[in-house]
Structure 1
Amino acid sequence: MAVSTPILGIAVLIYMMVVFYLGWLGYKQTKDTDDYMLAGRKINPLVLALSYGAAFISTSAIIGFGGYAGAFGMGVLWLVFMNIFVGIFIAFVLFGSRTRRMGVNLGAVTFPELVGRRFQSRFIQGFSGALITMFMPLYAGSVLIGGARFMETALNIEYNSAVLILAVIVAAYVITGGLIAVMYTDALQGGLMFIGMAILFVLTYARLGGIVEAHQSLTNMAHLVPENLAAVGHTGWTSMPAFGSPVWWTLFSTIILGVGIGVLAQPQLAVRFMTVRNTRSLNRAVLSGGPFILMMAGVAYIVGALSNVYFLDTRGMISLEAAGGNIDVIMPEYINSAMPDYFVIFFLLTLLAAAMSTLSSQFHTMGTAIGHDFYREFIMRGKIGKTITITRAGIATTILISVVLAYILPIGIIARATAIFFGLCAAAFLPMYTGALFWKRMNRQGATASLLVGTFASLFWLTFVHAKEATALGISQALFGVDTILTGTWTVVDPILVATPLAFLTAIIVSLATEPDSQEHLEKCYNRKNSE
């Protein structure tokens, strides 16, 4: 079903005019590097909360993880708990205030620069920037896929064209306006997303006969789980998978822990803590951030699972069958089939907002990683001045890479690609980032070792052990004649459970075995008076 083209055209035109106006405001207020990189360190708490939430919850959550819930059930709701407890409460209250304080003390304008200056290491800053540049396009590509899949279904346009249109729109205001433009547009898009998901929540239960009836119907469908999924642990859409089964390990380690813990070390989110005036602003942001995440993620996962009831009633099949076996098509197919035309139009704007808010943050982060962290600080050793022009070129380059990935990545990849990037960030950045904020004894040697061990242990596990990636890559097969070098349960254990503890242990051992940083430098890093 394609929606009314004239009405949709008017709605999109109005939306885009507002977005570009906010982007223009950001451009006008961008006077120097601090403005472009950190929005001038004066962002309103509500804008911060909406921007953080909108950057965090994207089409990968709504389309990818919503589709995962449609295929495997409501067990993914545990991720909502992790998103709120870890991604909002711990991130803002514990990590946020210290990040903002240290960022001010050290004059850092990016996440890699924060950890690089804390440990007095251009290598850490440059390597972190390179890592973001190389692997964040995988995440950005998955977000592009999510937005483009819905545009394809709702507008009846070709998928490749939808990818290109979405990328060009986001590029137009990110490249010119910097982080001020990104956060202003994020706030608008976050508001749209909240309203859209609230309406979807109400209409879904109304369509399925009420809350109790809908959930009871879904529970009664357990016998319809396909044999191939039941064989790997799928027990129904309102129950957890069989403990220790491949589906359980994927849900628990890759989805819940990979994304739930990985959010703490997301560069595009951590940098937002450095955009507010004071710690009080961060605490205020928690009050609006929690409900926002609950509405966005919680509704997507519930609706994704309940789509099975709708498709069974109307087509006599489960959601995965209705989507042709492609998890990423479940949510677009449900919304376009079950919802009234006027809502499909509004929800297209909601998904455009979700995609654009996350993509703008990703592109800005990747551009600053190339221009500021890798080129200026690592390659040129800080010997050149402003890097806004180079950063803009970096943004354009990473947009191109992300578009290419959106064209070539396999079907059903959104949730997995997101989890891969979040897990890699947890292993590579989280031990170093945590040590920088909370443990003065952690030094440059410990941070460097943990960064390298976390990165390469995670990549090794993905390449040679974790079956989904190792089998697809084929490197293990080419070198050793087997899809994975380990067998059994190990092949479904996510890298985050191996690489992250190993990196933490490395950071502790190496730091204690080497000389501590100078007391003078540590006092500068942790000084409260200069940053409050």
Structure 2
Amino acid sequence: MMVLNTAILGITVLIYLMIIFYLGWLGYKRTKGIDDYMVAGRNIHPYILALSYGATFISTSAIVGFGGAAGALGMGLLWLALMNIIVGIFIAFVVFGSRTRKMGKNLQAVTFPELLGRRFDSRFIQGFAGILIGIFMPLYTGIVLIGGARFVETTLGINYDVALMILTIIVAAYVITGGLIAVMYTDALQGTLMFIGMAILLVFTYIRLGGVVEAHQALTNMAHLVPESLVKGGHMGWTAMPAFGTPIWWNLVSTLVLGVGIGVLAQPQLVVRFMTVKDDKALNRAVFVGGPFILMMTGVAFTVGALSNAYFFQKKDMISLAVAGGNTDLIIPEFINSAMPEMFVVLFMLVLLAAAMSTLSSQYHTMGTAIGHDFYRQYVKKGKISHTVDVTKIGIALTILASVVLAYVLPISIIAPATAIFFGLCAAAFLPMYIGAIFWKRMTKEGAIASMLVGTLSSLSWIAFVHAKEAAPLGISQALFGKATLLTGTWTVVDPILVATPLAMLTAIVVSLATRPGATEHLEKCFHNIK
């Protein structure tokens, strides 16, 4: 384990934290009302929007978790990088962003659940969406905490529990006080730092391996070193896609690539970003910053994760999984600490702290508003209480506690799978309803509610009873029916998103066509100025 120069590390981290807290204070000073706290005053600069969106999207789960998954599965994961750019940036901003921003302004919505609830004139939709986010997003937050804490643990040699608590306290301090303005300001700084760090990481990696062509050729030549257990699952080498239809192919394509690549469209903490700018021009400008940012973040993480095998084989005669003791979440931290210069390790620790803090701050803000504003104020109290910000801060505190507990108890190699689970659940529960809300005037409240319930229940049921990766360890199917999964064969490796989301979409269409549309006046208000 590398021993870092304590003085350099201490000074660097101190300067970084001073800037973060200054930006948090700036956000606090500029937060005057509920719109400022919830949607940053609807006047955020395109550059800040793009980096905040990207930094929120790309967390330690992408760099550490998915980078580690690439270390095990190979460069086939680069298909996810392509999906992230096409779907997560271009389609999200250009196709969904403009309509979301306009409808959010028309309805004076300040959260994603509120946008859906007001579009369909349903407190139930807003309350159910809020509690769903409050219950399941801590899973995603917990694994982001794990990613940041694991790198600090590996780099500094300190106790994992201590690293976890330090990270949590720092993020909580500026999220609770400064709202979304503070979150987006700090995101922009952290996103810039992440871009620089990943660019340097890519260059150093190729230097260590003798050049671009040499590095990829060395990795290609290692195909015979794939462990037998992975070969049986369909692994064909780190520069090749897994064999079509095999368990590893289904895991890579349906869970990691499609689960995250499509699920990004219905991420509450990302959708709300579209409501923070004043016009479509800002959204379009943000694409030109967001696209390269996502390419650098995901493309580098997945490439370096796979290439770490070539480095460890040259230096230790071992593949990455063996060096990390079978824990894919440790592959990237081990590679950074082993292959990179000491000063870069300090920089990259800040990059991962930035990645973790930017995503965590947005997640805490989203969970707090979901519980405090959407569920408690709007659904339970029917909008009657006025202290929305105070209740939201309590919601943030509660979800922080839940995510820390999960970060202690979740198993190893959990970052990438848990991310895919949450993204897939959001896609099934929210995406059909969200698409109908902003694109289809004929979609009814009954269709939206049915879609949300079918998507949620079918996704969770598939996880609990069919998808072997979760169903087997959960043991619910075993306890109730005496077998690990209700279905067998290929079904057990098909991700829930491929079953639950189409079911929810079909439900939305059928029920909407079978029920009466909403009042014309309400629809005109929702779609005002939306072409």
Query: TM-score band, normalised by the shorter chain?
Result: over 0.9
1:387-426 to structure 2, matched below 5 A, reads 387-426=388-427
Q: Indicate the residue corresponding to 1:181 in structure 2.
A: 182
1:53-452 to structure 2, matched below 5 A, reads 53-452=54-453
**Is contact 1:39–1:179 with CA below 8 Å preserved after alignment?**
yes
The letter for the 2-side match of 1:247 is I
4+ runs of 1 displaced by more than 6 Å?
none
Q: Indicate the residue corresponding to 2:481 in structure 1.
A: 480
SS in structure 1 opposite 2:382?
coil
**Cα deviations across residues 484-507 of structure 1 (Å, max 9, x unaligned)?**
000000000000000000000000
Q: Indicate the residue corresponding to 1:47 in structure 2.
A: 48
Deviation at 1:315, TM superposition (A): 0.4
Deviation at 1:270, TM superposition (A): 0.1
The letter for the 1-side match of 2:390 is T
1:502 has 2:500 as partner = no
Distance 1:83 1:260 in 2: 6
Distance 1:165 1:323 in 2: 24
Distance 2:11 2:24 in 1: 20
Distance 2:223 2:5 in 1: 37
Using structure 2 for the length normalisation, give the TM-score: 0.99
Distance 1:513 1:526 in 2: 22
The letter for the 1-side match of 2:315 is T
Deviation at 1:160, TM superposition (A): 1.1
Distance 1:21 1:139 in 2: 27
**Is contact 1:73–1:239 with CA below 8 Å preserved after alignment?**
yes
Deviation at 1:430, TM superposition (A): 0.1
**Is contact 1:453–1:506 with CA below 8 Å preserved after alignment?**
yes
Structure 1 unaligned blocks of 5 or more: none
The letter for the 2-side match of 1:25 is L
The letter for the 2-side match of 1:308 is N
SS in structure 1 opposite 2:233?
coil
**Cα deviations across residues 437-465 of structure 1 (Å, max 9, x unaligned)?**
10000010000000000000000000000
1:7-26 to structure 2, matched below 5 A, reads 7-26=8-27
SS in structure 1 opposite 2:301?
helix
Deviation at 1:518, TM superposition (A): 1.1
Deviation at 1:161, TM superposition (A): 1.0
Distance 1:304 1:343 in 2: 17
The letter for the 1-side match of 2:239 is T
Distance 2:93 2:3 in 1: 41
SS in structure 2 opposite 1:485?
coil
Percent identity over the alignment? 74
Distance 1:97 1:11 in 2: 40
The letter for the 2-side match of 1:39 is A
Structure 2 unaligned blocks of 5 or more: none
SS in structure 2 opposite 1:67?
helix
Deviation at 1:2, TM superposition (A): 2.6
Deviation at 1:519, TM superposition (A): 1.0
Q: Indicate the residue corresponding to 2:515 in structure 1.
A: 514
CA RMSD after TM alignment: 0.7
Q: Indicate the residue corresponding to 1:5 in structure 2.
A: 6
**Cα deviations across residues 128-177 of structure 1 (Å, max 9, x unaligned)?**
00000000000000100000000000010011111111011000000000
Distance 1:3 1:409 in 2: 29
Deviation at 1:268, TM superposition (A): 0.1
**Cα deviations across residues 284-303 of structure 1 (Å, max 9, x unaligned)?**
00010000000000000000
The letter for the 2-side match of 1:88 is I
**Is contact 1:110–1:368 with CA below 8 Å preserved after alignment?**
yes
Distance 1:77 1:341 in 2: 28
Deviation at 1:228, TM superposition (A): 0.6
Deviation at 1:5, TM superposition (A): 1.5
**Is contact 1:253–1:497 with CA below 8 Å preserved after alignment?**
yes
SS in structure 2 opposite 1:171?
helix
Deviation at 1:4, TM superposition (A): 1.4
**Is contact 1:57–1:358 with CA below 8 Å preserved after alignment?**
yes
SS in structure 2 opposite 1:231?
helix
Distance 2:335 2:382 in 1: 52
The letter for the 2-side match of 1:444 is K
Using structure 1 for the length normalisation, give the TM-score: 0.99
Distance 1:3 1:486 in 2: 51
**Is contact 1:33–1:386 with CA below 8 Å preserved after alignment?**
no
**Cα deviations across residues 189-221 of structure 1 (Å, max 9, x unaligned)?**
000000000000100001100000000000000
SS in structure 1 opposite 2:512?
helix
Distance 2:163 2:263 in 1: 29
**Cα deviations across residues 311-364 of structure 1 (Å, max 9, x unaligned)?**
000100000000010000000000000000000000000000000000000000
Deviation at 1:3, TM superposition (A): 1.5
Distance 1:365 1:110 in 2: 8
Deviation at 1:386, TM superposition (A): 3.0
Distance 2:177 2:383 in 1: 23
**Cα deviations across residues 249-275 of structure 1 (Å, max 9, x unaligned)?**
000000000000000000000000000
